[in-house]
Amino acid sequence: MTRLLLGVTLERICKAVLLLCLLHFIIIMILYFDVYAQHLDFFSRFNARNASRAHPFSNSSRPNGTAPSYGPAGAEAPSPSTKPSTNQSATEKPLQPCQETPPGLVGRLLIEFSSPMSMERVQRENPDVRQGGKYTPPDCLPRQKVAILIPFRHREHHLKYWLHYLHPILRRQKVAYGIYIINQFGEDTFNRAKLLNVGFMEALKDDDEYDCFIFSDVDLIPMDDRNLYRCYEQPRHFAVGMDKFGFRLPYAGYFGGVSGLSKSQFLKINGFPNEYWGWGGEDDDIFNRISLNGMKVSRPDIRIGRYRMIKHERDKHNEPNPQRFTKIQNTKMTMKRDGISSLQYRLVEISRQPMYTNITVEIGRPPPRLARG
Ligand code: UDH
Ligand code: MN
């Protein structure tokens, strides 16, 4: 009797183990399907504009565990400002303007944050990036010069992943760029939008040829290199589908995460607000500024504008700002006085690192009324 019972129990355990294995297999298959889904995407395959165009400089290797692309860039034409060459010697054949759809893109990328990352590895894998995190495509004339600005404090771990993934992506996109980490000095309440205003000013002081500014959270990595980091005819919202929002836009007017404005678009809205202390609201205020100034946000296709955010808890001194709901009702009144025109800060240090330029800045603290909450 006991033997029979033992036998039945063993059989059940075996079945359970088998079931678990099957479940595991199915989950793995689903994950793979997700990454390689675009292979099966007939629409993007047949719509491809440049997929078959060979290019002498195209990169056939697949960095960062990337899958090949068959699809279009899914992006509109960039604004046409073309900069003169800085990387061309007199004896060489003159460089051609970079193609609107870069030929070496690979499409959907496999992004993960489990393998350890070090700055040494990032440096080793990006030997063409110049001191300060600058890069110029060697084989074509870029149409724009892009400053990438990252609001920052105590997120070194995230920064390594960001640099690890973004440098190769930007290189494949043929972007002429500089990376600026705008590091808030001290432990007062965090202010994302004000840091980005500082970034705009300091990047232009560093190089007055920047004509495009991309504002990115340090923990957001694009999952597709066809999401082109450049400026467009209208202000751009890049992070349309984040994993934390189920790869959907959380609401129609969302402008958070990663966005980009040309120099003239940024100046037209008087930059970003300086008076949003703590978490939230500043991105909605920027969206309001854009609409109130007669512009319209442009976005990539939802299949291309997907992002992974490195999981994290809320930071200290960046609690949700309880004033944000009232403040975003008043953008029309506040935007003329509060913005790049009223920006005040004290520069603490600029240091050029191999993979980025660090700008540490003191931006003050919220007025006492807000500090009390
Ligand atoms: N940031 C810093 N340091 C800080 C605060 C913010 O570097 O102390 C920067 C960083 O670039 C970050 C961005 O500001 O990516 C936006 O802040 P966030 O990442 O905290 O905003 P998010 O909306 O998170 O992603 C909200 C808190 C989520 C808590 C979830 C708990 N499960
Ligand atoms: Mn975040």
Q: What is the pLDDT of residues 147-185, one digit of tens each?
A: 999 999 999 999 999 999 999 999 999 999 999 999 999
Q: For ligand 1, which residues put their CB under 6 angstroms from it?
A: 150-155, 190, 192, 217-219, 279, 309, 313-315, 318
CA distance 367 to 277: 9
Q: Whose CA is nearest to atom 28 of ligand 1?
A: 314
Output the pLDDT for position 29.
59
Instruction: For 351-366, give one letter per residue: b (16+ CB within 10 A) or e.
Output: eeebbbbbbbbebeeb
Atom of ligand 1 nearest to the CA of 315: 8
65 CA to middle of ligand 2, Å?
A: 23
pTM: 0.81
Q: What is the phi-psi region of residue 193: left when phi exceeds 0, alpha when psi lies from -120 to 50, beta otherwise?
A: alpha
Contact 149, 216 (CB under 8 A): yes
Return the domain boundaries, the chain. 1-44, 119-362
41 CA to middle of ligand 1, Å?
A: 34
Residues with catalytic annotation?
217, 219, 279, 282-283, 309, 312, 314
182 CA to middle of ligand 1, Å?
A: 14
Q: Which pairing describes strands 306-309 and 220-222: parallel, antiparallel, or unpaired?
A: antiparallel
Q: Whose CA is nearest to atom 24 of ligand 1?
A: 314
Q: Please state, rounded to an integer, the average pLDDT across all residues of the chain.
A: 85
Q: How confident is the model at residue 103 (pLDDT cuts 50, 70, 90)?
A: very high
Helices (H), the chain: 2-36, 42-47, 119-125, 156-172, 192-206, 263-268, 282-292, 324-327, 331-334, 368-371
340 CA to middle of ligand 2, Å?
A: 24
Share above pLDDT 70 across residues of the chain, in percent, rounded to a whole number: 77
Q: Whose CA is nearest to atom 27 of ligand 1?
A: 314
Output the pLDDT for position 148.
99
The best mutation among 196, 314, 356, 363 to test binding of ligand 1, ranked by most ligand atoms within 8 Å of the C-beta, falls on 314
Instruction: Give tens-digit pLDDT for 51-88.
Output: 333 332 333 334 444 333 323 333 344 443 444 444 44
Atom of ligand 1 nearest to the CA of 216: 11
Q: Whose CA is nearest to atom 22 of ligand 1?
A: 314
Spatial CA neighbour of 262 closest among 102, 129, 87, 143: 143
In order of 62, 265, 285, the CA distances from 294 in angstroms are 41, 11, 15
Q: How confident is the model at residue 231 (pLDDT cuts 50, 70, 90)?
A: very high
Residue predicted with more confidence, 187 or 1: 187
Tell me the average pLDDT across 30-49. Answer: 41
Q: How confident is the model at residue 11 (pLDDT cuts 50, 70, 90)?
A: confident
The reply to whether CATH 3.90.550.10 applies to domain 119-362 is: yes
Q: What is the DSSP string of 97-123?
A: BPPSS-TT---BB-----S---HHHHH
Q: Whose CA is nearest to atom 16 of ligand 1?
A: 217
Of the listed ranges 1-5, 8-12, 13-17, the one predicted with least confidence: 1-5
User: Is residue 340 exposed (0-12), middle (13-18) or buried (19+ Cβ within 10 Å)?
Assistant: middle
Residue predicted with more confidence, 16 or 131: 131
Angle at 98 between CA 92 and CA 99, to 5 degrees: 135
In order of 37, 194, 319, 340, 362, the CA distances from 189 in angstroms are 42, 12, 8, 20, 11
Q: Which residues contact 194 (CB under 8 A, 6 or more apart)?
A: 272, 273, 274, 275, 276, 343, 345, 363
CA distance 144 to 79: 8
Ligand number nearest to the C-alpha of 315 = 1
Ligand number nearest to the C-alpha of 193 = 1
